Structure 1
Amino acid sequence: MTIASTDIQVRYAETDQMGVVHHSQYLIWCEIGRTKLINDLGFSYAKLEESGVLAPVTEANLSYNRAVRYGETVRVASWIEDYDKIRAVYGYAIYNEDEQLCVSGTTTHVIVDRESFRPRSMKKHLPEWHEVYEREKKQKEGSE
């Protein structure tokens, strides 16, 4: 199973008045991690969109375990949590410099046609992606 890893330096603009990262920023960090994962798997969000396909978030779930503060560096780990030919669920774990889990969660995505916004089957419209996502799903299931 592929797990992408991305380091992020916490910027002042990402924090609230207490110097703690605002909860909304974690979804942006998940996007950065997801993009890295997709690149590591040999694909590109930009090329996907150029082909007329979008991958909107249909669900997001995050659990906040530990505060992250301005000046820290975090590591975002990202992987394919689940896949069913229509939906891709990405998993995330965000760790602080001491490797303590700060945030964990998932986002669910469906690919859609850019013009009509109608869902598309990844198996039918993106067979290369489908093959890799199926492999990743099987590897994850085998590791559990």
Structure 2
Amino acid sequence: MAYNHTVQYYETDRMGITHHSNYIRWMEEARIDFLSQIGWPYNKLESLGIVSPVINVDCDFKKTTTFADAIEITVRVIEFKGVKLKLSYEMKNKDGVVVFTGTSSHAFLDIEGKPIRLKQSFPEFFGCLCELIE
């Protein structure tokens, strides 16, 4: 599933290059969009009492990006075991050159911070994520 982002001026540093911290923000933007695209928007999850904190992020910066660059971000489910979800991200510029790859891992917790077993508590969401594993 793809998400498009245009690099904003405020996301760049004095050298005109995107500051590295923004790539993690873009991962989150793409992840939220991904959940909406698969029919499970984050606000729906929260209304069901599900929160999904980030427990790990891994980033590999390949090429720099600059103001006004169009970035396509592809999100894929690479691992899911019911309590922990691992997503991969690939970011490409308008020329199709990979500028960034990364992963993020997430837990599924209730509002009190206790792990949720999605297979038992939310089988439709569990099944949806299982179908997307690549």
After TM superposition, the score normalised by the length of structure 2 is: 0.95
Contact 1:94 1:101 in 2 (8 A): yes
Q: Give the whole-Å Cα distance in 2 for the aligned partners of 1:23 and 1:123.
A: 36
In the alignment, structure 1 segments of 5+ residues that lack a partner are: none
The two structures, once aligned, show a CA RMSD in angstroms of 1.0
In the alignment, structure 2 segments of 5+ residues that lack a partner are: none
The structure 2 residue matched to 1:124, chosen from 98, 120, 126, is 120
Post-superposition Cα deviations, 1:66-90, rounded to whole Å, max 9, x if no partner, equal 0011121111111111101111111
The structure 2 residue matched to 1:105, chosen from 86, 102, 105, is 102
Q: Give the whole-Å Cα distance in 2 for the aligned partners of 1:94 and 1:35.
A: 16
2:54 alignment partner in structure 1: 57
Deviation at 1:11, TM superposition (A): 0.4
Quick one: which amino acid aligns to residue 121 of structure 1? R
Quick check: 1:83 aligned with 2:111?
Answer: no
Range that drifts further, 34-43 or 61-70: 34-43
After TM superposition, the score normalised by the length of structure 1 is: 0.89
SS of the residue corresponding to residue 64 of structure 2 reads: coil
Q: Give the whole-Å Cα distance in 1 for the aligned partners of 2:92 and 2:69.
A: 10
Q: Give the whole-Å Cα distance in 1 for the aligned partners of 2:24 and 2:86.
A: 14
SS of the residue corresponding to residue 75 of structure 1 reads: strand
Quick check: 1:35 aligned with 2:41?
Answer: no
Q: Give the whole-Å Cα distance in 2 for the aligned partners of 1:51 and 1:130.
A: 14
